[in-house]
Amino acid sequence: MLWVRSIRSNLRPSVLGFHCCWYSASAAAVQAERTIKEGPRHDWTRPEIKSVYDSPILDLLFHGAQVHRHAHNFREVQQCTLLSIKTGGCSEDCAYCPQSSRYGTGVKAQRLMNKDSVIEAAKKAKEAGSTRFCMGAAWRDTVGRKTNFNQILEYVKEIREMGMEVCCTLGMLEKQQALELKKAGLTAYNHNLDTSREYYPNIITTRSYDERLQTLDFVREAGINVCCGGIIGLGETAEDRVGLLHTLATLPTHPESVPINALVAVKGTPLEDQKPVEIWEMIRMIATARIVMPSAMVRLSAGRVLFSMPEQALCFLAGANSIFTGEKLLTTPNNDYDADQLMFNVLGLLPRPPSLVDDVDAETSQAAASASASA
């Protein structure tokens, strides 16, 4: 029987109960199987993650998809909207960022948006299918910004009452501010590590990796979900990408949300001449993140505009389950609304509902959400 032969030839020897020399399982296969059996682990070594990352790309993609299907409803993709509520004029020197006041990018410094405009934008985002609304402010931190911070607490409360998940990215936080955001109903706080600890000083010199980790600790301790990922295409090596994933995957609790961004090089920034990220690099990053942090929402974030629909389909297959919709991602262009709706139809994707559970560990809540989604 031809079909029996072809199925058998696709099975790994361990499944068939014998070993021979014609097939050797990739690290992606081995680690994905372990993840499916044991659930999220926090004792990943860097060589383990590197070997997953270096697996043959189609094998990595396939096993990312296996873990994804085990941990999530694979058809669901969450739509999020990220609004820049305070644009430009930032004192930091992040080499990729057009909002830094140190670079001549043409982005003008603006004041904090008023409540009516922010709430209006959130309503529009909700009507367009977003279930998570993220507000970004171009600040080093929120220290000494009491008036603005209190305004943002109001925005958080109101948007949460609209039945949306609410996320903020306002720079470094102090412990007390994290607690106040939690009290206001904040779902998640975004603070990216951007890259590996080793490569980080090439990208940012005005605050340290450890300061970033400290903010993540405050966020987690306050009971807010952590959203933390990075950017590829900054001139880093594969080892740096693995270093970033290793830091995230060995945190005491994996981030509930891991945005994977591809650099959108902006004229006037130090990284203006970086070559665009290739889809294969994105797939490697997404599938590896999915295998090492199975419960996280892996978000196909900035740079999606660089990819065609079939390329984005490969990212969803590899394990991405969220996108950012809306005209802009902070200050850079984003995918067209109609094109995104068409993509949902063509790929048979389903909009993922908001997860509004309070005071729970992210891995537990994600596991519960996946279980109910696949029930």
**Of 97, 168, 228, 315, which one is the catalytic site residue?**
97
Given the rule CB under 6 A, which of 36-44, 47-55, 93-101, 180-188 is the region that contacts ligand SF4? 93-101
Taking the least distance from each CB to ligand SF4, the nearer of 49 and 138 is 138
Report the residue from 35, 99, 257, 301 that binds ligand SF4 according to the rule CB under 6 A: 99
Q: How far is Cα of residue 52 from the mean position of the Cα atoms in its chain?
A: 19
For residue 299, indicate whether it is catalytic.
yes
Give Cβ neighbours of residue 10 (< 8 Å, ≥ 6 apart): none
For residue 94, indicate whether it is catalytic.
yes
Task: Give the whole-angstrom CA distance, residue 72 versus residue 293.
Answer: 12
94 is in an annotated binding site: yes
Smallest distance, Å, CB 154 to ligand SF4?
22
Can you give the C-alpha Rg of the chain in angstroms? Answer: 21
**Of 80, 167, 228, 315, which one is the catalytic site residue?**
167
**Using rule CB under 6 A, residue 271 touches ligand SF4:** no
Report the residue from 60, 94, 112, 227 that binds ligand SF4 according to the rule CB under 6 A: 94
227 is in an annotated binding site: yes
Smallest distance, Å, CB 198 to ligand SF4?
19
Smallest distance, Å, CB 100 to ligand SF4?
4
Smallest distance, Å, CB 313 to ligand SF4?
29
Report the residue from 78, 100, 142, 196 that binds ligand SF4 according to the rule CB under 6 A: 100
For residue 21, indicate whether it is catalytic.
no
Tally the residues of the chain: 375
Task: Give the whole-angstrom CA distance, residue 141 versus residue 83.
Answer: 18
Taking the least distance from each CB to ligand SF4, the nearer of 79 and 87 is 87
Tokens representing 176? 């007390």
**Using rule CB under 6 A, residue 92 touches ligand SF4:** yes
Smallest distance, Å, CB 93 to ligand SF4?
7
**Using rule CB under 6 A, residue 171 touches ligand SF4:** yes
Taking the least distance from each CB to ligand SF4, the nearer of 171 and 229 is 171
Taking the least distance from each CB to ligand SF4, the nearer of 86 and 182 is 86
Express the helix, strand and coil content of the chain in percent, nearest 5 each: 45, 15, 40
φ, ψ for residue 365 (rounded to 5)?
-65, -40
Give Cβ neighbours of residue 203 (< 8 Å, ≥ 6 apart): 94, 95, 96, 194, 195, 234
Give Cβ neighbours of residue 8 (< 8 Å, ≥ 6 apart): 16
Write out the H or E segment, with its range, that includes residue 147.
Answer: helix 146-161
**Of 80, 134, 168, 228, which one is the catalytic site residue?**
134
For residue 90, indicate whether it is catalytic.
yes
Helix, strand or coil, per DSSP, at residue 85: strand
168 is in an annotated binding site: no
Residues linked to residue 83 through DSSP beta bridges, in sequence order: 135
**Of 145, 241, 284, 299, which one is the catalytic site residue?**
299
Task: Give the whole-angstrom CA distance, residue 76 versus residue 78.
Answer: 7
The secondary structure of 183-243 as a DSSP string is: HHT--EEE---BS-TTTGGGT--SS-HHHHHHHHHHHHHTTPEEE--EEE-SS--HHHHHH
For residue 97, indicate whether it is catalytic.
yes
Taking the least distance from each CB to ligand SF4, the nearer of 48 and 92 is 92
Taking the least distance from each CB to ligand SF4, the nearer of 45 and 206 is 206
Task: Give the whole-angstrom CA distance, residue 7 versus residue 93.
Answer: 54
134 is in an annotated binding site: yes
Given the rule CB under 6 A, which of 5-13, 50-58, 94-102, 243-251 is the region that contacts ligand SF4? 94-102
Report the residue from 27, 77, 90, 362 that binds ligand SF4 according to the rule CB under 6 A: 90
Give Cβ neighbours of residue 124 (< 8 Å, ≥ 6 apart): none
Query: Between residue 115 and residue 154, which ones bind ligand SF4 under the rule CB under 6 A?
Result: 138
Angle at 296 between CA 290 and CA 300, to 5 degrees: 70
Residues of the shown chain interacting with ligand SF4 in the complex, contacts defined by CB under 6 A: 90, 92, 94, 97, 99-100, 138, 171
Binding site membership for [2Fe-2S] cluster: which residues? 134, 167, 227, 299
Query: Catalytic amino acids?
Result: 90, 94, 97, 134, 167, 227, 299
Which residues does the annotation place in the binding site for [4Fe-4S] cluster?
Answer: 90, 94, 97
